[in-house]
Amino acid sequence: MKTVLMILAIVCLVSLPLVLTRPRAGVDAFGGTDDKAKMAVESLHPDYKPWVHPLWNPPSGEIATLLFSLQAALGAGIIGYYLGYLKGRGKKE
């Protein structure tokens, strides 16, 4: 019961901003904070030039999404495997 309530709270915390937040015109709605910080650096110090660039960039947004999903899927798979193993072991005993 407590767990169900906590899951519901997580769903609300993550989904309510999507419904309640009105993105301002001209502002990239739900962009990443990392990019916003980059823009803040550029506005604070317009003459600053990044002195290195990433060795490799995902060629498209789709590829970046693929890699992020892969990262999440791998992690979730390991956690699920471990919990399933513990639960099965508990039953056997």
Binding residue count for other proteins, defined by CB under 8 A = 59
| Buried b or exposed e, range 50-65, using 16+ CB within 10 angstroms | eeeeeeeeeeeeeeee
The answer to the question of residue 62 lying near other proteins (CB under 8 A) is no
Length of the chain: 93
Query: Nearest distance from residue 75's CB to other proteins, in Å?
Result: 3
Query: Nearest distance from residue 89's CB to other proteins, in Å?
Result: 8
- Reference 50, options 58, 41, 37; nearest CA is 41
- Reference 71, options 83, 58, 84; nearest CA is 58
Q: By the criterion CB under 8 A, which residues form the site for other proteins?
A: 2-3, 6-7, 9-10, 13-14, 16-18, 20-24, 27, 29-34, 36-38, 40-41, 44-45, 48, 50-58, 64, 67-69, 71-72, 74-79, 82-83, 85-87, 89-90
